[in-house]
A = this chain, B = another copy of it.
Amino acid sequence: MTTSDGEGLGSHALADAIGARHRGVERAVTALRAPDTATPGAVVVWPDADADGLAKLGAAGVAAVAAVPGDESRGEALAAAANAVGIALLVVTDARVALARLSRALDRRPAPAEPGVHPSATVHPSAVLGARVSVGPGSVIAADARLGDGVVVGPLCSVGAAAEIGDESVMYARVTLYDGVRVGRRCVLHAGAVLGADGFGYAFGSRGAEKIHHLGGVVIGDDVEIGANTCVDRGTLHDTVLGDRCKLDNLVQVGHNVHIGDDAVVAGHTGIGGSSRIGRRVVIGGAVAIADHVTIGDDARLAGRAGVTKDVPAGETWGGFPAQPFRRWVREHYLIGRLETMWRHVRGADADGPATGEAKRA
Interface residue ranges, A against B (CB under 8 Å): 31-34, 37, 94, 96-97, 99-101, 103-104, 106-110, 118, 120, 122, 136-138, 140, 142-143, 154-156, 158, 160-162, 172-174, 176, 178-180, 188, 190-192, 194, 197-198, 200, 202-206, 208-215, 225, 227-229, 231, 233, 236-238, 245, 247, 249-251, 253, 255, 263, 265, 267-269, 271, 273, 286-287, 289, 291, 304-305, 307, 309, 321-322, 331-333, 335-336, 338-352, 354-359, 361-362
Contacts and interface: CB of A to CB of B under 8 A. Distances in A.
Contacts of A268: 200, 231, 253, 255, 271
User: 4 closest A-B pairs (Cβ-Cβ)?
Assistant: A348-B356, A348-B358, A158-B173, A103-B213
A126 to B, nearest CB: 11
Given A154-B158, A210-B100, A289-B286, A345 B332 contact: no
What copy number does this chain have within its complex?
3
A212 B273 contact: no
Contacts of A356: 344-345, 348-349, 351-352
Contacts of A238: 34, 37
Given A233-B250, A358-B348, A180 B342 contact: no
Contacts of A214: 103
14 contacts: A31-B215, A32-B237, A37-B237, A97-B206, A99-B203, A103-B212, A104-B210, A200-B268, A251-B271, A269-B289, A271-B286, A339-B342, A345-B356, A352-B356
Contacts of A245: 208-209
Nearest to A331: B340
Contacts of A341: 346, 359, 362
A243 to B, nearest CB: 12
Given A100-B202, A335-B342, 15 more contacts: A32-B215, A34-B237, A118-B122, A138-B156, A172-B176, A194-B250, A231-B250, A287-B289, A304-B309, A305-B307, A335-B340, A338-B346, A345-B349, A345-B355, A349-B359
B251 A231 contact: yes
Given A97-B203, A237-B32, A356-B349, A138 B140 contact: yes
Contacts of A247: 200, 202, 209
Contacts of A347: 358
A362 B100 CA distance: 51
A198 to B, nearest CB: 7
A227 B118 CA distance: 30
B340 A339 contact: no
A120 B118 contact: no
A222 to B, nearest CB: 12
Contact of A197 (B142, B190, B204, B213): B190
Nearest to A333: B322
A333 to B, nearest CB: 7
Given A180-B109, A355-B345, A356-B348, A237 B154 contact: no
A215 to B, nearest CB: 6
Contact of A345 (B100, B198, B233, B358): B358
